[in-house]
Structures are given as structure tokens and as C-alpha cells.
Amino acid sequence: MRNIAVIMGGYSSEKDISIKSGNVIMENLDPKLFKGFPIIIEKNKWFLKDDAGNQEIDKNDFTVNLNGDKIVFDAVYNTIHGTPGEDGIFQAYLELLGIPQTSCDSYQAAVTFNKRDCIAVLKPWSIHTGKHLYLNQGEDISFDNIVEAVGLPCFVKANRSGSSFGVSKVYEVSAFAKALQTAFAVDDEIIIESFLDGMEVSIGVYQIGDTILSLPPTEIVSENDFFDYEAKYMGKAQEITPARLSESATLAVQELSKRIYSILKLKGLARADFIFHNGTPHFIEINTNPGMSRESIVPQQIKAAGKNLQEVLTAIIEDTILNHKK
């Protein structure tokens, strides 16, 4: 029986969503193989949440004392969305301690969590994307230059954020000031992205051994203007799995998602988002700790692939332990 720490929470606005994801992982661990420990990561305290109360984690070696016994973890299942679990900080801590964890390594996490850096890494590999413009807080801003670079409508996004926090769709110049304020409230770096007209799809990817596996894509049909927080988590979107794509288009986006996963040297479950613009999938972003709550896309895709969540989690955890570099 292996001890698995399921870390959740984090320091960002995605904390509550992360806890939902972590609870789903806990419920779907194979009890014959794993003993799961739900661990909440907060800025001022890391603790194991169990029936006896909140038991504090020893940060020196990431262990916990339960009834006089020191619990050492064989692996960490990482379900933190945002900092510090998706941006590389927690991964680096676990790497120093030599503890296997299911998400990508610290460098890959830092690159993929930063939308600007991720796009820059992928560009030499001829991955189709929209047009982009970058701004840092305090820089002089010319709205005319923004329109000239990316056109209207466009998206203004916090650069290092998830769950559509800090994102606005802008149709006219007069709306830029509010959109920038919204984005800068979340991050001091922003990315402005051209609008791509077409079907939005999201697709889960993971690797077992040397084989990268791509799940059936999900088509996103939002009741709102785009796939925002309300659409993602409050039922304001229709998620159609598998997406209403031709066989060749489905294969194209699956192969592209696997290629991006490979280029970025990821591991564990990731979810890539695309827009089919003029018939070609254009990369938007990739989430290396995707949502795993009941409302989330990846669990839907696992079911559509004819698999169950428990068997996928088992394969990922066992692969993580087997291929861990100490």
C-alpha cells in the first residue's frame, strides 16, 4: 500500500476549485493500492485534513505525524491550480526533497504557466497561434497600437492565471481601460490576443511510459461571450464530448496536442485549448494541472474514451513513481 499525498488549495483565486479537484482525486484512488491523504496548502499553513482535525505538515521533509507515527509519502498527486502548484514553485520544493509528483517538473511548470513564455517556446516549432501583444504594469499604453497589432475584437488576459480570472473580451477602444484594470488586478503582466473565429476545443493528454495518449476533444459552446468563469463552473456553457469534428479534424487536434505535450516535455495529465480557425487548430494555452472536479472537462473525456478515472489515476501514479529521477 503506497501513501499518496493529494495536494490542493494554493495561494490563488483558484483555491476553491483546486479543493474540489483534490476531493475528486481522493474519491477515485484505488483503495487496494493507495492510501490517500488530503493535504491543504495555504500560505501560512500546510495541513492534513482528516477526521482528527488539521494535522500540520513538517515542511522540512514533507511528512506528517499521525498518532505518533511519521507518515512518509511515496508520491504526491498535485491538484493545485495556480501558484504554488502549477507555476513550478511546489514542484521545485518536491524535487529538492526527491519526492515524486504527478505534474510536470518545475521548469516546464514555470514556462507553461506563463502564457507569454509558452507561446515563445512553441513558435519555432511552427505551432499556429493568434497574434499577441504583451504589456507590463507601468508601461505606456497606446490603444491605437494595440488595435493595429491584434485588431478588434481581442482578448485582454492576465498572463499568469487560470479559470479565466482576469480575462476580458474587448470590442471597442473605449473598453480597453476597464479590461486592462481587470487583468492587472490579477497579474502585473498581461497578454493581449487577437480574436480567432471558430470552434473552441479542449483536449486532455497524458503519458504512460513512452506513449503519449490523447483523449477525445471537447467542444465548448458558451452561453456567454467566451468561455469565462461563469461558463466553466456555473453551467453557462455546453461541453460536447466528443467534439462535433470530422474524423480528420479530430485526429489533427489530437496529434497536435500530443506534439505540444512532447515539445514542452510535460508529464501527468495536461489539457490543451485550441480554436479551429479557418479549419486549422490554433493553440491558445495548456494547463498542466487541469481541473478534475465533477464539472471539469478531463473527467468527461476519460469517460468518453471508455476508461474510468480510477484506472487512469492508477496508471499515472504508478508511472510517476517508476520513472522518478532521484
Q: Hey, what's the cell of 281?
A: 487548430
Please list, in sequence order, all residues whose beta carbon lies within 8 angstroms of the beta carbon of residue 117, skipping any fewer than 6 positions away.
110, 111
Residue 195 has pLDDT above 70, yes or no: yes
pLDDT attached to residue 186: 86
2-102: CATH number? 3.40.50.20
- Percent of the chain at pLDDT exceeding 90: 72
200-239: pLDDT as tens digits: 999 999 999 999 999 999 999 876 565 444 444 455 678 9
pLDDT attached to residue 227: 47
pLDDT attached to residue 228: 46
Q: Out of 3.20.20.80, 3.30.360.10, 3.30.470.20, 3.10.400.10, which CATH number does the structure's domain 111-128+197-322 have?
A: 3.30.470.20
pLDDT attached to residue 237: 74
- Percent of the chain at pLDDT exceeding 70: 94
Classify 203 as helix, strand or coil.
strand
List every span in the chain annotated with CATH 3.30.470.20: 111-128+197-322
List every span in the chain annotated with CATH 3.40.50.20: 2-102
The residue assigned the cell 529538492 is 96
Residue 72 has pLDDT above 70, yes or no: yes
Residue 107 has pLDDT above 60, yes or no: yes
Q: Cα 115 vs. chain centroid, distance in angstroms? A: 12
CATH 3.40.50.300 assigned to 132-194: no
Phi then psi for residue 39, to 5 deg, are -120, 120
List every span in the chain annotated with CATH 3.30.1490.20: 132-194
Classify 194 as helix, strand or coil.
strand
Q: 144-153, 179-188, 220-229, 255-264 — which is least confidently predicted?
A: 220-229
Q: Using alpha carbons only, give the angle 70, 75, 15 rounded to the nearest 5 degrees.
A: 95
